[in-house]
A = this chain, B = another copy of it.
Amino acid sequence: MSADSATPADQPRAEARRAQILAAASDCFHAHGFHGSSISQISKAAGMSAGHIYHYFENKEAIIAAIVEQDIERLQEMTDDMRAAENPLEAMMESIDAAVAEHMQPDHAPLKLEIVAEAGRNPHIAAAVHAADAKIMGAFEETIGLIRRAGGHQDDSREIRGRTEIISALFEGLIARSIRNPAIDKETTLRIFRQIVRDLLQR
């Protein structure tokens, strides 16, 4: 018996293949949507056969779920950085511009909305989205709680959570607005957006 289970060289290889599929799927989904991208398309983009994808993912849903999980890691890093900053309030204010710009990128906005829409109907996607949201919102709440306490406020947890929800809703809403009205005046909108966030954080 091979007590030293699973050849050591296999681990990074499988990992690489998985990443390869995820990257290809992400490209396809962004370009044509979840339902508009076929396994065959994804396999071509990933440079492998269609059947082989099922060695790494149970089905198409599992690919989306993995992309959702992957996405939150970046967000988590962002809030971690803020919390570690010397002045978390200003760190957050400074990162808003980039975050909004990224959220409103026309190539990425549709998939973000589509994933949420899918979560509203598909229990498997819903599970992944809920778990991801709980994680990232927890981190976000911590950061905002820190900023509020530094500003001399003593809110209960519901208040912190509510303010966090509203800031998140604003971000998410801007994604939709950027699609509904591509001619949106980003400068003015961003100015008002920043003012509201600042109020929510320190007033």
A181 to B130, CA, bound (A): 6
Asked if A93 lies at the interface with its beta carbon under 8 angstroms from chain B, I say: no
**Beta-carbon contact of A176 and B121 below 8 Å:** no
CB distance from A114 to the nearest CB of B (A): 4
Known: A158-B188, A163-B192, A189-B166. A32 touches B121 (CB 8 A): yes
- By a CB distance below 8 angstroms, the chain B residues around A32 are 121
Asked if A170 lies at the interface with its beta carbon under 8 angstroms from chain B, I say: yes
- By a CB distance below 8 angstroms, the chain B residues around A176 are 113, 116, 169, 172-173, 176
A113 to B130, CA, bound (A): 17
A161 to B183, CA, bound (A): 12
This protein's copies in its complex? 2
CB distance from A30 to the nearest CB of B (A): 9
CB distance from A97 to the nearest CB of B (A): 16
**Beta-carbon contact of B137 and A181 below 8 Å:** yes
A80-109: which have CB < 8 Å to B? 106, 109
- By a CB distance below 8 angstroms, the chain B residues around A31 are 121
For A111, A119, A177, A191, which residue has the most chain B Cβ atoms within 10 angstroms? A177
Asked if A185 lies at the interface with its beta carbon under 8 angstroms from chain B, I say: yes
A31 to B121, CA, bound (A): 8
A104-148: which have CB < 8 Å to B? 106, 109-111, 113-114, 116-121, 126, 129-130, 133-134, 137
CB distance from A40 to the nearest CB of B (A): 17
**Beta-carbon contact of B173 and A119 below 8 Å:** no
A196 to B199, CA, bound (A): 9
A158-172: which have CB < 8 Å to B? 158-159, 161-163, 165-166, 168-172
Known: A35-B35, A177-B165, A193-B166. A117 touches B119 (CB 8 A): no
User: Which residues of A pack against B, CB within 8 Å?
Assistant: 31-33, 35-36, 106, 109-111, 113-114, 116-121, 126, 129-130, 133-134, 137, 158-159, 161-163, 165-166, 168-174, 176-177, 179-182, 184-185, 188-189, 191-193, 196, 199-200
